[in-house]
């Protein structure tokens, strides 16, 4: 059977041209050309934000961004991976916090400098409406903002492009915590389960699990795969 060779494309990394197979992700391309990646990578599947990459395309002046583990290479692509840029996260005690706009502004006053340019939204690899979330915070609607930025992975691309120097991901982390602590409806079933655990309700089941043989575990796993009811 005749071997089918992949079509090769040219990418530029650290100012040098390399030939890599078409269609593979940027991370796989960098490994293909011999780079051993020990920084700037994490989950490798697109949801940790460690591999944010800026790039330009052939005959295109615009600057693009994406996660290197999701973005496929293109012929003539010029790559620049973001170095780690420390961003100060303000210190606070969640127990002493208040779920209002004034508390957020006291820690991150720079959000009031937002000029509404929408650069943050355009650069977000998760397609989060970043600017709209900031505006929701400024209007005092923390619940709406928290829901809008639920998928934020703190990659930092938005902050790199922000002329107001807002560190969006630190602001969003604070807003999500305030929402979870003070605004979101409390789940009654969760409180009930926590109480059961604290009262050692499952202690006997745990002891039985720990004493089971390997074969017993296999039988249990098969039942779970078949969605059969089990008793411990």
User: Which is higher by pLDDT, 70 or 3?
Assistant: 70
User: Which is higher by pLDDT, 5 or 176?
Assistant: 176
CA distance 130 to 136: 10
CA distance 153 to 169: 8
User: Which is higher by pLDDT, 177 or 48?
Assistant: 177
For tokens 């720079």, what's the residue?
A: 110
15-48: pLDDT as tens digits = 899 999 999 999 999 999 998 877 767 777 767 8
**Contact call for residues 108 and 174 (beta carbons, < 8 A):** yes
Pairing of strands 52-56, 64-67: antiparallel
Beta bridge partners of 79: 13, 55
When pLDDT is cut at 50, 70 and 90, the band that residue 199 belongs to is: very high
Please check the confidence at residue 69 and state whether its pLDDT lies above 80: yes
Average pLDDT value over all residues in the chain: 90
- Distance between first and last Cα of the chain: 54
CA distance 81 to 133: 26
**Contact call for residues 116 and 167 (beta carbons, < 8 A):** no
168-178 helix and 130-138 helix, angle to the nearest 10 degrees: 60
Domain layout of the chain by residue ranges: 8-81, 94-183, 197-223
When pLDDT is cut at 50, 70 and 90, the band that residue 155 belongs to is: confident
Q: Measured between alpha carbons, how far is residue 157 from residues 94, 189, 206, 213 in Å? A: 27, 38, 45, 50
Topology (CATH level 3) of domain 94-183:
Fumarate Reductase Iron-sulfur Protein; Chain B, domain 2 (1.10.1060)
Please check the confidence at residue 51 and state whether its pLDDT lies above 90: no
The answer to whether domain 8-81 and domain 94-183 are alike in fold is no
Residues 6+ positions from 190 with CB-CB distance below 8 Å: none
Nearest 5°: CA angle at 185, between 126 and 202? 100
Residue 171 is predicted with a pLDDT of 97
Topology (CATH level 3) of domain 8-81:
Ubiquitin-like (UB roll) (3.10.20)
Beta bridge partners of 78: 12, 56
Residue 96 is predicted with a pLDDT of 93
Residue 86 is predicted with a pLDDT of 65
Average pLDDT over residues 174-187: 94
């Amino acid at each position: 059977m005749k071997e089918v060779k992949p079509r090769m494309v040219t990418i530029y990394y650290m100012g040098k041209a390399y030939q890599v197979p078409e269609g593979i992700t940027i991370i796989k391309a960098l490994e293909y050309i011999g780079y051993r990646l020990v920084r700037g990578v994490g989950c490798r599947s697109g949801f940790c934000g460690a591999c944010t990459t800026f790039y330009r395309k052939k005959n295109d002046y615009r600057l693009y961004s994406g996660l290197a583990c999701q973005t496929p290479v293109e012929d003539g692509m010029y790559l620049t991976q973001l170095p780690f840029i420390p961003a100060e996260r303000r210190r606070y005690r969640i127990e002493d916090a208040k779920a209002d706009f004034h508390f957020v502004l006291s820690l991150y006053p720079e959000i009031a400098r937002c000029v509404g340019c929408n650069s943050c939204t355009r650069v977000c690899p998760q397609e989060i409406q970043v600017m709209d979330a900031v505006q929701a915070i400024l209007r005092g609607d923390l619940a709406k903002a928290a829901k809008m930025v639920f998928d934020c992975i703190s990659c930092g691309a938005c902050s790199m492009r922000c002329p107001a120097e807002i560190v969006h991901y630190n602001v969003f982390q604070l807003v999500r915590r305030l929402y979870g602590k003070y605004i979101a409806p409390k789940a009654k079933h969760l409180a009930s389960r926590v109480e059961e655990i604290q009262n050692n309700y499952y202690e006997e089941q745990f002891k039985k699990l720990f004493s089971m043989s390997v074969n017993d575990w296999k039988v249990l796993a098969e039942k779970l795969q078949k969605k059969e009811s089990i008793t411990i």
